[in-house]
Amino acid sequence: MCGRAGVMVGAVMCVACALGHVLPPPPSSHAHNNRLQAERHHLDDPHYVFRSELDLPADLQARLQEDHHDPEVTGGFFQGDMAGLTPETVVMNTRVALKWEAFPEKRWPNATVPYSISSLYGQNEQQMIRTAITTLQFLTCINFVEWDGKVEDYLLFWPMKRPRGCWSYVGRRGGMQVVSLQAPDHRSLRCFASLGKPIHELLHALGIFHEQARPDRDQHVTILTENIITEYLGNFRKQSGQNTTFPLPYDYSSVMHYGSNFFSYTKSVPTIVPKVPGVEIGQRIMLSKLDCLKLNDLYGCLEDPTDRLKYITFCNFLGISQLSS
């Protein structure tokens, strides 16, 4: 599968370059330094993130940092990596979801997303972020543009020290909006273990929730509550069907699906098991075919007949199909 994934990602990059559908060159180091100072100022605001690992008791903070936990859960946010949401403060049938009719302000206008990448990242990490952005830009009609320092709403890729891990807000928040990707350290590659990690957080920022939180998830997976750290049982609640929309079937191969042992007491026991034997969940290689179609549908990329044919073809050819163990 790794070899196939490499071919798919390589194909995206090669075709994108051939069509000239690539991102602009990174800004000068001088411009980055100026932005760095301004962005630090806003990130020091204690109200920027509503609830995270910093609000948890010390013993729970320590448990999240155990090596078997994925960096998508170590931030301690709602469902692990969705900032600004908590089970205690969000009524499930009114929380932000995929239905723009209910939450139009969460959609990025004109399918255009300004972004900035912190110079605190090394060259390899910056390149992986840009590859993730280019991948989404090629496979959909969403246009990512380098932040010009003037537009009010934009994504900022920043390696937050605390709360650490991989996390993002869901949909457009307004103003500077952090997508935090923890940089590699001596213990692991963290949020840069694979291309699917930054892609996962980008899909949150574009308005997509976790696949296993769908209202119909109990038809497809079994949640083993006895294996979940008690304090994190709320992360396995389903979202309401009232303000969400899922025109596509349940997707075990989604890059937005929990892994089998997320929030587990130990890596040796699962917390979520597919009802289809032998199916793998939690891949972070690439968008699945259905992820790709879902994102295109969400931003109206399939409305024009010519674009519809193009993007459906891209999704079917480059998206990951169901994985089996």
Q: Is 220 annotated as a binding residue?
A: no
Q: Which three-class secondary structure state does DSSP give residue 264?
A: strand
Active-site residue flag, 201 = yes
Look-up: residue for tokens 């920022």? Answer: 205
Q: Is 68 annotated as a binding residue?
A: no
Distance CA 289, CA 253 (A): 9
Determine how many CB atoms are found less than 10 A away from the CB of residue 144: 20
Distance CA 173, CA 305 (A): 31
The residue from 201, 211, 226, 280 that is catalytic is 201
Report residue 256 as tokens.
């937005």
Report residue 146 as tokens.
């380098």
Helix, strand, coil proportions of the chain in percent (round to 5)? 35, 10, 50
DSSP for 292-310, please give it.
HHHHHHHTTTTSSHHHHHH
Beta bridge partners of 213: none
CB 134 within 8 A of CB 12: yes
Q: Is 21 annotated as a binding residue?
A: no
Cα angle 77, 210, 279; round to 5: 125
Active-site residue list: 201
Residues contributing to the annotated binding site: 200, 204, 210
Residues contributing to the annotated binding site for Zn(2+): 200, 204, 210
